[in-house]
Amino acid sequence: MTDAAKTMAGPAPIKGSNSSVMEVWGHKAEAFLLPFGALLAGLAAFSVFLLFVGKSPVEFYSLVYKAGFGTAFSWNNTLSRTAPLLLAALCVAIPARLGLVVIGGEGAIVLGGVAAGAFGMFLPGLPGFMGIVGMFLCGALTGALWIGAVGAMRFKRGVNETISSLLMAYIAIALMNHLVEGPFRDPASLNKPSTAPLGETYRIGNIPGLDVHWGLAIGIIACIAMWVLIERTTWGFAARIVGGNIRAAQVQGLPVGLLMVGFCASAGAFAGIAGMMEVAAVHGTANGSLASGYGYAGILIAFLARHNMIAIIPVGILLAGFEASSGLIQRRMDLPDATILVLQGFVFVAILLSETLTGRFKLFQPHIGDRS
């Protein structure tokens, strides 16, 4: 009775605001410490795995550190690999906030790249930055249409977006092969069919002081901008309501269809930009190398970051560092290249498992402590 009376009466105003601050900080700490702890648990579990195959975890992690983060070259290596991953991860994380599991970002990447390559091929010689801007818009628009279509099919026809985006990625790769081997092929590209090489003014260079192209900066800016949009604007709030309870969103009169298609399109646009950056900054032409699995690596990063746009940045850098160390681990420890995939698998499972622990630690629930 006394407990119930307490609850009915509620805490005193001042104490109440105190405990809600504690509550917020408790949740923030939980949101950070749980995945971080899970990451450490995943690394520890992988160490046991290494011991059973007769390899030293200390050597392994010191090589990962050295090749991923230990020298200036290592950082250039890691950050170069990070650049496309951030944008690819956004393509998964943004729809995820609306409750959509889109895993076909690879399709938007390759088609964004082909569109950019075609723009550079058919409209060469534009003055100043016009060429780069045009390629940027072409890549973004193509990606937006591709993943926007996934959102539209989901809303209009109830087509499962996970399956449709994945299957559309296969269509996209086939379409890319057809285009670069057919209508968009540079006749001079004999044994590696490609679009015509881009002119100098269409190429994107490196960030000053780094051996990393501008795609990294664009990725970081995009992550921050999307975090602001999703966490700090009414549009983002509406999107999160759709993700939380689509019925409630409809009852409230939110434009659910527009939100779904719009956010999917923005997700696709980022993937398309990733493809465009590959063409303009790395390859200088569009060809089959565009389909190199960045879209799939993005899924892992988005899930590890728990679809938090800011968290994508450190998680992306961490996974890129793992990838950067893969070569040295093959060479020094005589382990197969799949080792890093196994490591990523351990970490992925550990972090997914940690989600089931959310809300189970008293430490992060100060109000429960207050009541007792």
Distance CA 60, CA 70 (A): 13
What does R_g of the chain's alpha carbons equal in angstroms? 23
Q: How far is the CB of 134 from other proteins (least distance, A)?
A: 21
The Cα angle at residue 30 between residues 8 and 307, in degrees rounded to 5: 110
Distance CA 262, CA 254 (A): 13
Is 101 or 333 the residue whose CB approaches other proteins more closely? 333
Is 30 or 278 the residue whose CB approaches other proteins more closely? 278
Q: How far is the CB of 178 from other proteins (least distance, A)?
A: 9
- Interacting residues toward other proteins by CB under 8 A: 50-59, 62, 66-67, 71, 73, 76-77, 80-81, 174, 177, 181-182, 190-193, 278, 282-284, 287-289, 292-293, 323-324, 326-328, 330-332, 336-337
Q: How far is the CB of 62 from other proteins (least distance, A)?
A: 6
Q: Which of 277, 163, 135 is nearest to 220 (CA)?
A: 277
Q: How far is the CB of 89 from other proteins (least distance, A)?
A: 17
Rounded-to-5 percentages of helix, strand, coil across the chain: 75, 0, 20
| Residue 347 CB-half CA count within 13 A | 20
Is 174 or 225 the residue whose CB approaches other proteins more closely? 174
Is 175 or 310 the residue whose CB approaches other proteins more closely? 175
Cα-based torsion angle of the residue sequence 342, 347, 348, 349 in order, rounded to the nearest 10 degrees: 90
Distance CA 27, CA 88 (A): 28
Is 19 or 76 the residue whose CB approaches other proteins more closely? 76
Q: How far is the CB of 360 from other proteins (least distance, A)?
A: 33
Is 79 or 96 the residue whose CB approaches other proteins more closely? 79
- Identity at 231, one-letter amino acid code: E
- The answer for 209, left when phi > 0, alpha when psi is -120 to 50, beta otherwise, is left
DSSP 195: P
CB 291 within 8 A of CB 108: no
Q: How far is the CB of 77 from other proteins (least distance, A)?
A: 4
| Residue 143 CB-half CA count within 13 A | 35
Is 73 or 235 the residue whose CB approaches other proteins more closely? 73
Is 299 or 351 the residue whose CB approaches other proteins more closely? 299
Distance CA 102, CA 147 (A): 8
Q: How far is the CB of 19 from other proteins (least distance, A)?
A: 47
Is 5 or 52 the residue whose CB approaches other proteins more closely? 52
Q: How far is the CB of 340 from other proteins (least distance, A)?
A: 10
Q: How far is the CB of 302 from other proteins (least distance, A)?
A: 20
Sequence-separated (6 or more) residues with CB below 8 Å from residue 327: 67
Distance CA 38, CA 355 (A): 9
Q: Is 212 helix (H, G, I), strand (E, B) or coil?
A: coil
